[in-house]
Structure 1
Amino acid sequence: MSNVHQEPPPGVPGPPGAAAGPGWWPGPQGWPPYAPPAPQPGVIPLRPLGPGDILRAVVAVLRRYGKVLYRQLLGVTVGALLVVPAYAVFADAALSGLIQDAQAHPDYTATGGQVAVLIAVVGGGYLLLFGFALAVQVIATATGTKLVQHAVLGRPVTARRLAAEARPYLWRVCGSFLLLALGIAAAMVVGLLPAAIAGLAGAGPFALLLLPLAALAAGTGMYAQVRLVLQMPVLILEDARPTAAFRRAWQLNEGAWWRSLGIPYLVGLIGSAAAQILMAPFLFLGFVLMFAFGGTGVDGTWEPGPASLIALSACLLAGLLVAVVVGAPLAPLTHALLYVDRRIRRESLDVALAQAAGLHPGPGQPAPAQPVPAQSGPPEAGAAQPPAGTPGPDRAGAARDGVAPEDAAPEDGAPDGAAPDLAKRPGPVVPAPGRSQDEPQDQSHGKPAAERPDPEANGPART
């Protein structure tokens, strides 16, 4: 018996109790029933996603839309590369007196004014780096999340259009970042403050008894942070307010804590390895410049000078900023894909996405035009003919070959600002082919609250 699966001929009834529609025919030699592959109009198949699907989708987004995505971060990167070295030169000039006095007198004690200048320079440097890091993260979160909205359907998008769609959410994303950070910090303070007060008061044994409370507070903060990883996708893709996004993300991510921890952590490890590779040339250049600008001491040995330290610091900061910018979109892309996966599992979003991609019509939408059989002679009188300009099935949904997604023009007939609507909850349920709307739907699509199985749990389907 051949192991090649074949579909049953049309009109042949299926086995007793088998569901109607494609895919019911049992496989040979007791194999499981044939399951047709899920459609994939974009970077993900329209079905519940496994960890491998999400990893491949992140790589596919960076490969197809990388130029559009990183163009949004170009301004912040150039500004940081110009401002940070300039601030390093300013810091060296401001602290030159303190450095010279400390080198001339090993037991020198800094004055109050010099200490104040040192604190101001160091604090300003930390605030500057924090501001650039926050700006990069906010822009990467808003643009990366909005980009997933187009990438799941394989739609082209330009850099100008992506920036226009992400711009209204920048301040909202920034406020949500700060609000989440303050909440986690408050939980940590509540847990650590009693033990710290007891330790400072001299009650050492009592402070040790309060350490489990501190560990509980730390665990609670970590649990809440992982449980709320979908907060930014909800905020942007559903156009929700920060407080409403917190509630919605908490409910949507119920029962998926370990997935929300493991998959972003794995993507982060890969991004960290790529960042180390990117930082290596800057580190090498920094050491070369440091030895080139170094001087000779009194005893004839080499010693670093102010110029060499500035060159090394500038190269290290430049490499760090480039690594941060390159790795910044990884977490937003992963969280947005996890959001799509959760809605596919709980709310049948794959059906709505298939309708948006034009793979099959929804309720009340016309079916695609059927091919007209070829006629050897002139058409009969009164025969219905398709209207002029009606596209055939071979043209419907055809991909444009040779055009990059970021450079392609919008689809004909589609509005310039149109984007797939992911804000509808839950996604509309479309009757399966061959069934009427009065018949019960598949269990995986008919109950939004039910979890649909992971397709990668038992390996790929046999065909």
Structure 2
Amino acid sequence: MIDRAATFWRAHLKPLFLLSFGFSLVNYIAMKATILAGRQLSPMLYASDMQAQAQRDPTGMLGQTGVSMGLWMVLFGVIFFIYWMATLATSRYVVSAQLGEPVSPADSLRRAFSRAGPLTGAYVCSIAWAMLIAVLLLGPGVILGGIAAVVAGMGSNTLALVLAVIAVPLAVLGLIAAMLWYFLRFLLLPPVMAMEDLGAWDSFKRSGELLSGRIGPGFLDRVVVRAMILYTVMSLILISVQLVSSIPSWLVMAPYGSPFDAGTMARTPQYLLVPAELVQVVAQSCFTPIYYVFCSLFYLDMRVRREALDLERRMDAPSTTTLAV
């Protein structure tokens, strides 16, 4: 599956880049606006003496931290939605090409924007469902952390420390599991939206049906297991690309402090930082489509295996054979 995705990506690099670049640029603009807004609304978080200011004004620091977290939550919501739109547009291009009915990137974008309404509805449903799952998965760690805080208040510091040591990794694992569940559960929703004229709720259910059950007797033939393995590999590829494409930005920020310090980005001149970040945007637009192609091919593979889509289309196609009289 990954090899097929890479082969298609190499063969259609230019149109895939054109489909991805606009969405990547919007993501970059949204992220940049969030950072600039955060610097204006939460200046204490970007100050060089942040710890000292927190000690002088803990209430102000808490308020600005809340504002910053709210901004970043909105940003992540926007980025995830744009990711779905990009996947939808690319899926239209990829699946149509695989079925022998190629469409242009412009037609794929028109399809994506025409489905923006149902996609928004499905996105809201997915966020609500994900919040419920996150509460369930984070619950044990949060509850154990709360017990540790109560025990510490009662004066048993040793027991509280033991409980905290267990609670923190448990909560982190719960958060990772919730994020993995989200991306796997809705892996095929954008391709469904791209190729099937279903509403928001029907697309929501349809994507779940395609990812349920198994396609063979073995453990690896469970669809969720196959999706998890393939998704993990693709994620590692994209993370590697992200790290490599971030090197120009890190080099630009290095003279002004640690690239992983929020204050360093504020101290770095924007006329140096923005070009380096745009290089990163271009690199991501080149390589990220391989993930979109993988989602599209996985959707097509499930429909072929479960619904014999290829045979159905052959039967529906007009015959090209001329019978002799």
Q: Assess same fold via TM > 0.5.
A: yes
1:143 is displaced (CA, Å) by 0.6
1:196 Cα offset (Å):
3.8
Q: Which residue of 2 aligns with 1:345?
A: 305
Aligned residue runs from structure 1 range 139-150, under 5 A: 139-150=85-96
Aligned mates of 2:316, 2:19 — CA distance in 1: 38
Measure, in 2, the Cα distance between the counterparts of 1:305 and 1:224. Answer: 31
1:239 offset after TM fit, Å?
Answer: 1.9
Distance 2:26 2:102 in 1: 29
Partner of 2:260: none
Q: Does 1:231 align with 2:208?
A: no
The question of 1:271 aligning with 2:238 is answered: yes
Measured after TM superposition, the shift of residue 306 of structure 1 is: 5.7
1:157 to 86, 100, 103: 103
Counterparts of 1:88-107 in structure 2, within 5 Å, are: 88=35, 91-92=38-39, 102=49
Question: Is the 1:176–1:242 contact (alpha carbons within 8 Å) kept by the matching residues of 2?
Answer: yes
Do the aligned partners of 1:138 and 1:170 also contact (CA within 8 Å) in 2? Answer: no
Partner residue in 1 for 2:9:
62
Q: Structure 2 counterpart of 1:189, which letter?
A: V
Aligned partner of 2:202 among 244, 260, 284: 244
Classify 1:268/1:307 alpha carbon distance in 2 versus 1 (closer, same or farther; 3 Å): closer
Superposed, 1:159-174 pairs within 5 Å as: 159-174=105-120
From the superposition, tell whether residues 315 and 176 of structure 1 become closer, same or farther in structure 2 (CA, over 3 Å).
farther
* Per-residue deviation, 1:128: 5.9
Unaligned runs of 5+ in 1: 1-53, 292-303, 356-361, 373-383, 385-463
* Aligned partner of residue 337 in structure 1, secondary structure: helix
Cα separation, partners in 2 of 1:318 and 1:87, compared to 1, 3 Å: farther
The alignment covers a number of residue pairs equal to 294
Measure the CA separation in 2 of the matches of 1:91 and 1:58: 38
Q: Could you tell me how far 1:146 is from its partner in structure 2?
A: 0.8
| Pairing of 1:270-349 with structure 2 (within 5 A) | 270-287=237-254, 290=256, 307-308=267-268, 325-326=285-286, 328-349=288-309
Distance in 2 (alpha carbons) for counterparts of 1:56 and 1:305: 38
CA distance in 1, matches of 2:290, 2:33: 29
Contact 1:76 1:132 in 2 (8 A): no
Q: Report the CA distance shift for 1:171/1:332 in structure 2 as closer, same or farther (over 3 A).
A: farther
Q: Distance in 2 between matches of 1:316 and 1:118?
A: 28
Contact 2:191 2:295 in 1 (8 A): yes
Q: Which moved more, 1:171-180 or 1:308-317?
A: 308-317
C-alpha displacement of 1:171:
3.4
- Richer in helix (by share): 2
Distance 1:270 1:192, change over 3 A: closer
Q: Structure 2 matches for 1:14-413, cutoff 5 A?
A: 54-81=1-28, 84-85=31-32, 88=35, 91-92=38-39, 102=49, 109-110=56-57, 116-117=63-64, 119-120=66-67, 122-123=68-69, 125-127=71-73, 129-193=75-139, 196-197=142-143, 200=146, 202=150, 226=184, 229-253=187-211, 254-255=213-214, 256-287=223-254, 290=256, 307-308=267-268, 325-326=285-286, 328-353=288-313, 355=314, 362=315, 365-369=318-322
Within 1, Cα distance between the matches of 2:297 and 2:141?
A: 40
Say whether the 8 Å CA contact 2:122–2:204 is kept in structure 1: no
1:236, 1:285 → 2: CA distance? 40
Query: Please, what TM-score do these two structures have when normalized by structure 2?
Result: 0.67
Percent of counterpart pairs with the same letter? 18
Residue identity matched to 1:367? T
1:409 is matched with none
- Is this contact kept in 2: 1:226–1:257, CA < 8 A? yes
Change (3 A) 1:329 1:163: same
2:274 and 2:3 map into 1 onto residues whose CA distance is: 35
What SS is found at the alignment partner of 2:298? helix
Q: Which amino acid aligns with 1:64?
A: A
Greater mean deviation of Cα atoms: 247-256 or 78-87: 78-87
Structure 1: how far apart are the matches of 2:185 and 2:48? 53
Alignment of 1:424-463 (within 5 A): none
Whether the aligned pair in 2 keeps the contact of 1:145 and 1:336 (CA below 8 Å) is: yes
What is the root-mean-square deviation in Å for CA atoms of aligned residues?
4.5
Distance 1:262 1:347, change over 3 A: same
1:100 & 1:268 partners in 2: Cα distance?
A: 34
Cα distance in 2 for residues equivalent to 1:228 and 1:220:
12
In the TM superposition, residue 195 of structure 1 has moved relative to its aligned partner by 6.4
The runs of at least 4 consecutive aligned structure 1 residues that moved more than 4 Å come to 79-103, 105-108, 111-115, 201-205, 213-225, 309-328
**Partners in 1 of 2:181 and 2:71 — Cα distance?**
32
Cα deviations across residues 167-202 of structure 1 (Å, max 9, x unaligned)?
A: 222233343334223313312313544664465354
* Greater Rg by CA: 1
- CA distance change for structure 1 residues 196 and 311 in 2, over 3 Å: closer, same or farther? same
* Counterpart-to-counterpart distance in 1, 2:26 and 2:181: 36
